[in-house]
Amino acid sequence: MAKFYTGQGDDGTTGLLGEGRVDKFDLRMEAVGAVDEASAALGVARSLVAMPENRERLLALQRQLYQLMSELAATPETAARFQVIDPDSVRRLEVEIDTLQAQVTIPREFIVPGDTPGSAALDLARTIVRRAERRIAELMARGDLANRDLLPFVNRLSSYLFLLELSETAAAGRDHPTLAKEK
């Protein structure tokens, strides 16, 4: 049986999808890592949400995030082979956002996460997606990524997760989420 570990990363580098290695702290790996964290946080949320349809939605998102990680880890020479996020990906999220927006009440103030375990986990995932978005934006600004659909996708994803958070709070029978400002 082959060993589970290779030792190739012991020098502080990691392989890309294509030729070459980069430092483990390379911005591209930071973006991949943030998306990986977001997927893990979505897994926690999926295990905690009360609404079965939200579990299905989150699993679909996790699968998309694995595709996004592949795209981020691809070298310029292999990028086209791994490109999956496209205008349709963004539009599908927008349709989901529009559907949820019609079902929940959006507060006019900031909210404090934690009204339910599922909603709290969704908010954590949303903030991690925002970090991934910042890393992807920097990669785009440096010219390291060509797919212009990546930023709109992760931007919509964070909005979508916020609405899912509100839907979980509402499903728990709460009329309004906890607001950051005391009344």
d(CA 84, CA 73): 13
Q: Residue 158's domain spans which residues?
A: 22-171
> Token pair for residue 152?
């709109």
Please state, in angstroms and rounded to a whole number, the distance separating the CA atoms of residues 35 and 81. 19
CATH number of the domain residue 118 falls in: 1.20.1200.10
Q: Is 97 inside a domain boundary?
A: yes
- 114-158 residue pLDDT tens: 999 999 999 999 999 999 999 999 999 999 999 999 999 999 999
How many domains would you assign to the chain? Answer: 1
- Assigned domain for 178 exists: no
pLDDT in tens, 17-75: 888 888 788 999 999 999 999 999 999 999 999 999 999 999 999 999 999 999 999 98
Predicted confidence (pLDDT) per residue in 73-124, tens digit: 998 888 889 999 999 999 999 999 999 999 999 998 999 999 999 999 999 9
Please check whether residue 15 lies inside any domain of the structure: no
Structure confidence at residue 174 as a pLDDT band (50, 70, 90): confident
11 part of a folded domain: no
Residue 6 domain flag: no
CA distance 42 to 58: 6
Global pTM value: 0.92
pLDDT of residue 142: 95
Q: What are the structure tokens assigned to 33, written together?
A: 């890592």
* 17 in any annotated domain: no
Please report whether residue 10 resides in a domain: no
Residue 92 lies in a domain: yes
